[in-house]
Amino acid sequence: MKRNKKDRQSTLKETIEAKPFITDDALAKIFDVSIQTIRLDRMELNIPELRERIKSVATNNWNETVKALPIDEVIGEIIDLELDRRAISILDITAEHVFSRNNIARGHHLFAQANSLAVAVINDELALTANASIKFTRQVVEGERVIAKASVAGTEKTNRTVVEVHSYVDNETVFSGVFAMFRSNQEKEGNES
Amino acid sequence: MKRNKKDRQSTLKETIEAKPFITDDALAKIFDVSIQTIRLDRMELNIPELRERIKSVATNNWNETVKALPIDEVIGEIIDLELDRRAISILDITAEHVFSRNNIARGHHLFAQANSLAVAVINDELALTANASIKFTRQVVEGERVIAKASVAGTEKTNRTVVEVHSYVDNETVFSGVFAMFRSNQEKEGNES
DNA sequence: TAAAAATTATGACTAGGTACTAATAGTAAT
DNA sequence: ATTACTATTAGTACCTAGTCATAATTTTTA
């Protein structure tokens, strides 16, 4: 089944991620295109050749000793902040954020970035996430820079503030979430210690 | 370091076992013999060529992780796991997990525990979170032990598996979430023409 | 319809081999 | 000394799964 380029490329990516031991030739047959098209696709998607993929699978598990990866302060860097209105942060995805097997960023890092941004945008000493509805729209891989933009959508009846966060890589949405934040004081009055 | 054949071959075997990513060329230089000698040696010792060695390292580890994620990629400690059915993990909240101001655990740690448990319970080589709906029902403070219980709720139309996770402190619910997990290994064939 | 994008084709080259043949060097036995 | 044998080295053709560059063709879009 011939599909368009974008469609094919995203499926291709998934196919290779799911089955990294497949050759270009086999892929060409699956997608019913020439082997050159597959290679162009790989080039555009920055997917290395078969042998490199095999090698990376092998080496990743080879250094199994160096894997602990704690999640201390994986919040990203806040580069813009207007309290109770909006905030922006950047998180560069590095090796410590991804699954060793496929280089895809683990969901909780994207969540952590968004969630901590939602906390930061609240002009209050005590802001906690009450609940959230989130969506991972596209996988993020090592080397990509995730830009999270939070905007305060409004306040619910109870002392909850709703914050919408959208995260992008190259203007493409990778994550979005709506966070209902619990806050102790309303608005900007509370500044006791 | 020229030695006799037997000596060289046993050392060769050890060398390759210790460092399977070495080429015949490099081995020839190490043992100060020709590349053909190395190849004869490999043949006699039934040692496959470099690429096959790499591949076998890769597939070995791949198979290890087919059934479940490596435990150290899970946030919290998994104490019970029945693939595609349920899983339980424990996370002790320490100083590194809390806001310094109020000792309340940061949301993303609870999320990370639940999310990685949802990934681990999936009986697939590649499981990713597609979206999630989560709720923080009670604050967790330093010193408390969070027990997360995941149960596979079922599979949606597309290759998504729904996992419900409830986290408790002393039988009190502190977090709950429904995770829609994307899984790769559904063998979607039939892409003809 | 012309321009742009996507695809396919082609050739030259590479790494890291296999498989095979042949030549050479050293040693041991007769 | 000749023969037999082992170990080593050399060289060729071929293989897979690619890269890189260029060009031609097809398809899509403005």
Which tens digit of pLDDT belongs to each residue from B143-160? 898 989 899 887 665 567
Predicted confidence at residue A69, as pLDDT, reads 26
Predicted confidence at residue A44, as pLDDT, reads 83
- 8 Å CB contact between B79 and B90: yes
Predicted confidence at residue A80, as pLDDT, reads 64
Mean pLDDT, rounded, for A174-179: 90
d(CA A87, CA B117): 30
Residue of B nearest to A175 (CA): B131
For the cut 70, the answer to whether the pLDDT of residue B129 exceeds it is: yes
- 8 Å CB contact between A184 and A125: yes
pLDDT averaged over chain A? 74
Going across the sheet that includes B86-92, the strands are A77-82, A86-92, A145-155, A160-169, A172-183, A127-136, B127-136, B172-183, B160-169, B145-155, B86-92, B77-82
Predicted confidence at residue B133, as pLDDT, reads 83
* CATH, range B5-64: 1.10.10.10
pLDDT digits (tens, 9 = 90+) for A23-47: 898 899 888 898 999 999 998 887 8
Q: Do B65 and A131 touch (CB under 8 A)?
A: no
Please list the residues that pair with B163 across neighbouring strands: B152, B179
C1’ D30 / CA A45, Å: 27
- Greater confidence, A173 or A58? A173
Q: CATH 1.10.10.10 spans which residues of chain A?
A: 5-62
Provide, rounded to the nearest whole percent, the portion of chain A with pLDDT above 90. Answer: 8
For the cut 50, the answer to whether the pLDDT of residue B179 exceeds it is: yes
Chain A contacts in chain B segment 5-24 (CB below 8 A): 21
* CATH, range B69-183: 3.10.129.10
Which uninterrupted H or E stretch holds B118?
A: helix B107-121
Predicted confidence at residue B188, as pLDDT, reads 27
Mean pLDDT, rounded, for A80-103: 77
Q: Which fold has domain A77-189?
A: Thiol Ester Dehydrase; Chain A (3.10.129)
- 8 Å CB contact between A141 and B137: no
Of B21, B73, B108, the CB nearest to A116: B108
- 8 Å CB contact between A104 and A141: yes
Q: Predicted confidence band at A139 (pLDDT cuts at 50, 70, 90)?
A: confident
Q: CATH 3.10.129.10 spans which residues of chain B?
A: 69-183
* CATH, range A5-62: 1.10.10.10
